[in-house]
Amino acid sequence: MLFFLRRIGVVYCRCEREGAPGYLFMESTTDEKQSWAPKISAFLGRWGVETHGIAPIPVEQRVDPRTWQHFLLWFSANVNLPTMVIGAGGPVVFNMSFRDTAVVLLVSDAVASIIPAYFALFGPRLGTRQMVQARYSWGVRAVIIPSLFNVLSMTGYLVLNAIVAGQLLSTISSRLNPTAGIIIISLVSLVASFCGYRSLHWFQGVSWLPTLLGIIVMLAIGAPHLRAITIPASTPPTVAAVLSFSAAVMASVFSWCTAMADYGVYHKADTSSALIFTYVYTAMFSSSFMMHLLGAVFACAATSGTAPQWWAAYNNGNNFGGLASAVLAPSRGFGKLMMALMSLAISAPTALTMYSFGMSLMNVIATAICVPLAIAGQTRFYDVLVAIIDIIGYWSASFAAIIFTEHIVFRDATFSSYDVSAWDNAQSLPPGIAAVVSFALSFALIVPCMAQSFFVGPIAAALGGGDVGLVVGFFSTSFLYAGLRAVERRVFGR
């Protein structure tokens, strides 16, 4: 919203300079009669719409004591059908049995949730959005690189979520097609994200309920066919399948690293770090593992042959919304109600993504980009899914490694080492050379470890086609940044 107001001729200044917290909007035109923009901003602010920009939230405004909201927000972010789609990839894409899929999911989700949960501490402690906090390692100018990558990544997730929502909505009525469903869910998400931080926390606190109810109904109705998931696979999974599936699962969780701090910037700054970490880690792991596992359950049942109508609706793994509707079909009208509620609940992760997108660009732009790409990608869903998630995982791992190494190694894991007042002062922040060079060099190792439909690197090929790019990217970037940052600090003194 700030971006929009500035584009139409409105600027803002920090009110702290005049003794008041927050931001004051001022008309930049000479005609004071045309002061409608500040009035709109004030009106929206009275109704709870967030009008604060990317500047750090002052400590006196970080007073929200509801620490438990961290749990509900990240639990809700994953309790939705798109998360189930990731778990379904085990049996559908990588031909793994339910038992093998479950083991991979348990380990991958448990490990991948650690770093995002830790990054959630930056919001309450510093009051900085994730991409603003990244300036303390990337610098003011170089941070545009991860910001652009972040916009592209979030666009990818918006596309995936919109496709699943569109597929599910289109099964409710013959008057709806996937394209109409994509547009509806995108607009709902736009409204939720436009209202800002506090509205998002409220929305996330309740949006998981319809999905969880729908899942319970699906389990009850589909129980006779779910026994087939206990049938062991005729052959054990290959190393390549395990590595590639694990990479996709970890990437789906790890990619939240680029936005974790965005949703804690108004919460109490003196809240126990251990408590925040526990809330976020428990929420992310429990919700991710539960929904990934449930996706694997229904996908295994669909591929077993005991419910041919499920597999037909699944369309060779390209229409998870169709699978969900086929499972709920026996309940008729009630099933359609559940499908409608679950499809609208997909706006929970989509709204979060649009909100963080808005820290770099306008969330209206996010909607404009999301709709046509989702429409184009709906017919090749699993190809789009694996490619988007893995590629997001590669760069997210390198980005997270830089932030984590800076905080642990060079700032002794203490939040007091950050001068928040210097967030926009290029001369007080690192020049970003170490971050850019280590980020770029890490891809010299990531690319040989990639295993995609369009390219398999030599290291991945030596592992039978297993993808280890995310893990290699995180550790290689950590070592590269540690060495280069030490030199950078010695040369520039900051």
Distance CA 160, CA 75 (A): 19
Element holding 221 (H helix, E strand): helix 208-226
434 close to 362: Cβ distance less than 8 angstroms: no
Same-domain check for residues 76 and 172: yes
Which range, 97-101, 295-299, 362-366, 480-484, is most confident?
A: 480-484
- Residue that has been written with the tokens 């899929």 in this structure: 101
Same-domain check for residues 71 and 163: yes
Task: Render pLDDT for 309-326 as a digit per residue (tens, 0 to 9).
Answer: 898 888 877 788 888 889
- Of 363, 380, 397, the residue that ends a domain is 380
Asked whether residue 482 carries a pLDDT value surpassing 60, the answer given is yes
Task: Render pLDDT for 43-67 as a digit per residue (tens, 0 to 9).
Answer: 655 555 666 678 899 999 998 999 9
What number is the average pLDDT over the span 102-128? 95
Residue 1 Cα distances to 14, 104, 308, 370, angstroms? 17, 41, 49, 18
- Which residues, at least 6 apart from 104, have a Cβ–Cβ distance to it below 8 Å? 90, 96, 242, 245, 246, 249
Q: Has residue 168 been placed in a domain?
A: yes
- Of 334, 354, 380, the residue that ends a domain is 380
| Structural tokens at position 169 | 């909505």
Distance CA 147, CA 119 (A): 16
State the pLDDT at residue 37: 56
Q: How confident is the model at residue 150 (pLDDT cuts 50, 70, 90)?
A: confident
Q: How confident is the model at residue 488 (pLDDT cuts 50, 70, 90)?
A: very high
C-alpha distance across the termini of the chain, in Å? 33
Same-domain check for residues 36 and 82: no
What number is the average pLDDT over the span 348-354? 77
Same-domain check for residues 9 and 93: no
% of the chain residues with pLDDT over 70:
80
Query: Per the structure, how many domains does the chain have?
Result: 2
170 close to 156: Cβ distance less than 8 angstroms: no
Domain that holds residue 341: 59-380
Q: Has residue 369 been placed in a domain?
A: yes
Same-domain check for residues 37 and 186: no
Asked whether residue 38 carries a pLDDT value surpassing 70, the answer given is no
Same-domain check for residues 122 and 167: yes
350 close to 184: Cβ distance less than 8 angstroms: no
Asked whether residue 266 carries a pLDDT value surpassing 80, the answer given is yes
Q: How many CB atoms lie within 10 A of CB 261?
A: 26
Asked whether residue 101 carries a pLDDT value surpassing 60, the answer given is yes
94 close to 104: Cβ distance less than 8 angstroms: no
Centroid of chain to Cα 88: 19
Q: How confident is the model at residue 375 (pLDDT cuts 50, 70, 90)?
A: low
Same-domain check for residues 282 and 372: yes
Question: What is the per-residue DSSP string for 26-93?
Answer: EE-SS-TT--HHHHHHHHHHHTT-----SSPPPGGG--B--TTHHHHHHHHHHSSHHHHHHHHHHHHH
Same-domain check for residues 151 and 214: yes
- Of 380, 407, 425, the residue that ends a domain is 380
Q: How confident is the model at residue 30 (pLDDT cuts 50, 70, 90)?
A: very low
290 close to 123: Cβ distance less than 8 angstroms: no
Distance CA 34, CA 238 (A): 67
Provide the CATH number for the domain around residue 272.
1.10.4160.10
State the pLDDT at residue 420: 93
Q: Name the phi and psi angles at 161, rounded to 5.
A: -65, -40
Q: Has residue 459 been placed in a domain?
A: no
For residue 11, the cross-strand partners are: 26
Same-domain check for residues 37 and 160: no
Distance CA 142, CA 103 (A): 40
More confident residue, 135 or 1: 135
Task: Render pLDDT for 412-459 as a digit per residue (tens, 0 to 9).
Answer: 999 999 999 999 999 999 999 999 999 999 999 999 999 887 788 999
Q: Which amino acid is at 361?
A: L
Same-domain check for residues 34 and 116: no
Q: Has residue 147 been placed in a domain?
A: yes
Same-domain check for residues 79 and 30: no
Q: Has residue 386 been placed in a domain?
A: no
State the pLDDT at residue 28: 40
Same-domain check for residues 113 and 135: yes
For residue 23, the cross-strand partners are: 14
252 close to 397: Cβ distance less than 8 angstroms: no
